[in-house]
Homo-oligomer: A and B are copies of this chain.
């Protein structure tokens, strides 16, 4: 039997969940229109999924009449945890992994075909992904030439840091204006606890900074409530993360400092101490700048 597509599998699982409380002897009829609305897919998809359920013996189809025969058990569900919804996800994962493992360094060249072969996608999927990804300013190409990782020099680093400084300073001011009862304050105090927990055992847990850093800056940027700011959150976040990869040398010490700086900012935020927040943030961004510059120089 041929393997169904991800969407069909997910839809089958969705229908199974819908009918999971079916009782023996009950009269349960499936309407594709209703299911389509509920699962937010087209009726065509629902019908393919119901046909699949018929072969599983869970549903009986009699013309337009689709009746549930038995309640589903766990083996009826498709395991979609390991599948990917599309080729695009495959190449995205594959490419980001290359970056994160330092297989693609600034100045490196690579071709679409090469990526397509090694990732198991076709060239068009790869190409479209690269076009989309080029928005981050990390890769570029000229017509009929190979793609190239952007050379990461001091100027690039300084521009990035300056841009980030302006966006974050603005957002954090907005954040300070958020009223007391808002959910963001409990989010922040939770985040503070997590930071403290990691700091307690920093020798073993210092690598968790990466995730906390992303979360922290996400909360800050989100306060701007501005889609253009958020667009750039992704860009800056990715690029910074990318370049932190290579200074493994003093990673423990560096991460410890960053964690402590986060703690200071969040504490000042929770105390609603405007000038304290600004100063702490300024310090943090300056440290980040130094780190980034060092990583830029390390590559020359």
Contact = CB atoms under 8 A, between A and B. Distances in A.
A28 interface: no
Given A166-B166, A166-B170, A228 B160 contact: yes
A77 interface: no
Contacts of A232: 228
A100 B137 CA distance: 28
A228 to B, nearest CB: 4
A60 B228 CA distance: 59
Interface in A93-134: 124, 127-128, 131-132
B227 A159 contact: yes
B131 A226 contact: no
Interface in A212-230: 225-229
6 contacts: A131-B132, A135-B135, A159-B228, A163-B226, A166-B166, A166-B167
A231 interface: yes
A162 interface: yes
A227 B163 CA distance: 9
Contacts of A166: 166-167, 170
Contact of A128 (B128, B159, B231, B235): B128
Nearest to A137: B227
Given A127-B128, A159-B226, A228-B235, 6 more contacts: A128-B131, A137-B231, A163-B226, A166-B166, A166-B167, A166-B170
Interface string A182-216: 00000000000000000000000000000000000
A163 B167 CA distance: 9
A242 B123 CA distance: 34
Contacts of A228: 137, 159-160, 163, 232, 235
Contacts of A131: 128, 131-132
A229 B163 contact: yes
A35 to B, nearest CB: 18
Interface in A249-278: none
Interface in A123-179: 124, 127-128, 131-132, 135, 137, 143, 156, 159-160, 162-163, 166-167, 170
Interface in A31-74: none
Contacts of A127: 128
Contacts of A86: 143
Contacts of A156: 227
A235 B127 CA distance: 23
Nearest to A239: B228
A127 B226 CA distance: 27
Nearest to A143: B86
B162 A226 contact: yes
